[in-house]
Each structure stands twice: as C-alpha cells, then as structure tokens.
A and B are shown apart, each in its own frame.
Chain A
Amino acid sequence: MKAVARAHPLWLAYILHRISGIGLALFLPVHFWVLSLALNNAAQLDAFLTLSDLPIVKLAETGLVFLLAVHMFGGLRLMALEWLPWNAAQKTWAAAATAGAFFISIIFLMQAI
C-alpha cells in the first residue's frame, strides 16, 4: 500500500479529519429524521430512543461523540495553523491544552451528574 508508505502524523490528522467528517455527514440525515418523528409520531420516537439502551447502540453513540470531538478539535487546529502566525511548538501546546481541558471537563461533567 503506497498511501501508507507516506503516512506521517499530520497526514494521519488529515485522514482522520476527512473520515470523521464523512462519517458525521452520513449520520446527520438519520439523526434529523429520527428527531422529526417527534412531529407526528412521538411513540415511534420513543421506540427508537429505547434502542439507545442497547450496548451496541451505546457503542455507536460513543463513536459519534468521538467523531464529533475529533472533527471539531481537528478543525480548530487547522484554523489555528492557517490563521494564527504562531510557531509550531506554540500550536502543539495550544492543541494539547484545549484537548486536555476538554477531557477534564467531560470527566467532570460525568462525575457531576
């Protein structure tokens, strides 16, 4: 595989950003459709939501949260890289700091409720 021959960290970040973006875009229509069930078919929406108790669905949800978080931080990283005249080390630190803050707040949130 020649593409893998050229893999390096920034390239992996690019692929991750693209794949997560495609994944989210494919998920969105389903997400919207399920929510609009509330309009005329609340029972069906509830039937759907009970599915969210299944472990497999939980896993999928976790996957989606991961995709969303990865895509957002990847995107913010990209905009910082393009628009802020910082040097590479400053950018790495900024990215690490935001990611760290994010995970700490998630853990905090999960503890608090």
Chain B
Amino acid sequence: MKKVYLYKGYERFWHWSQSVLVFILIVTGFEIHSSYSLIGFENAVRIHNITAWTFLVLTVFTIFWDFTTDEWKQYIPTSKNLKAQISFYLSGIFKNAPHPAGKTISSKLNPLQRLVYLGIKVFVFPVMFLTGFLYYFFHYPVQGIELSSLEVIAVLHTRGAFAVVAFIIVHLYLITTGRTVTSNLKAMVTGWEEIEEHETKHIEEEIMAETKTLIRNAGEKSGRRKLRKAKEAVAEIV
C-alpha cells in the first residue's frame, strides 16, 4: 500500500464548508417549506439567507480556484469506463472486482462522479442560486420588474432542494464503497489516500512529470514549496 496526496488543502476546505452550508440550507429550507418545525420560521429564513450568501461567496471562489489550478478538468465528462463503473456498482462490487477506473492526481473522479458532480456544478446549484435570488429579490414589484408569481420559482427551488437531498443520501453511501469503508472519508479529511501498489505506477509517472516542470520553475517561492510537497509524495510511494 502506498499513500498519495490526492486532495489539496483548498479542495478539502471547499468540500467540507460546502457540505456544512448545504446541510444548513437543507435544514432551514425545509423548515421554510413547512415540512417540519425546528428553529422557527423566522430563524430559518434568516439563517437560510445568510448561509445562501456565504455559499455564493464560496462557490464563486471555488470556480475561480478550479480554473486557476486547472482542476476544472476533473469534471470533463468521459464515456471511457462509464459502463464499467456502472456495472461495478451493480455487480462487480459484490464479487470483489477492482475499481474499474483507477484514481490518479489528474483524474480523481470516476466517470460517474464526473458526470454527476458536473451536473450539480453547472445545473443544480446554478438553478438553486438563480431561483433563490429571484425568490429573494423579485417577490415584490421592484421598479416595474416583478415576477407574476412566486410559484414557478418556488417550485423549481423546492424540486432542486429535493434533488440535493437525494444526491446527499446516495453520496454519503457511496463514500463507504472505497477501498475500505472509511478510506474515502479519511482521504477527504487528510488529503491522503491509500492506493494499491499496482495502481501507483502511473501516479508515480504523473508526479515525476509534474516535478520536472516544478524544478524548472523552482526559482519561484511557490514552485519550491510545491516541489517539496511533490518530493514528499514521491517519497511515500517509492
């Protein structure tokens, strides 16, 4: 077994803050929806709105980060191994079959994850933001612009909310289908993931390639730090 540094600091920060924020949005959102009564309607509205703003800031930040670090490429959908991944979840997993798509640093997500996460990033959350902000700003006449009814907005927002809840249920479960029941969770907490020997070969190659470019840029401070990181990573593997 080898350890690979898979999830960077910001990535983990973003992931966990997002999970906290979305959790708060769900709990307060469904209280606003009158599905239950927990903290009171007024508190629910206040917290939902503050959290929504915070979530927006985080999301804008993360999109920026995705592009500056090229991480957005993680979400490019691919059909390669897609069927294999589906059949792994449907049968392979019960027969001790290996994960069809090995994790690498430049490809952390399996083809199913790529599809679903991309869908959430470019479709579900934007719809939630759009409807949420329309909900917030345009429910009353504002200088001649107004929605004829909140209903359309509210229906979309609520459907989206249900979809997010369903996603989270499945997502939480799939966490347990890593190498061990807890390995995915540990990886997202610490950044380090254990990978089997035969899978590490292309990761080594990847790191080496990256290291070389880093050495070229080593004059810069950040280059040096990254180099040290990369060296540590390689050390773990080798």
Same assembly: no
Interface residues of B (CB under 8 A from A): none
Interface residues of A (CB under 8 A from B): none
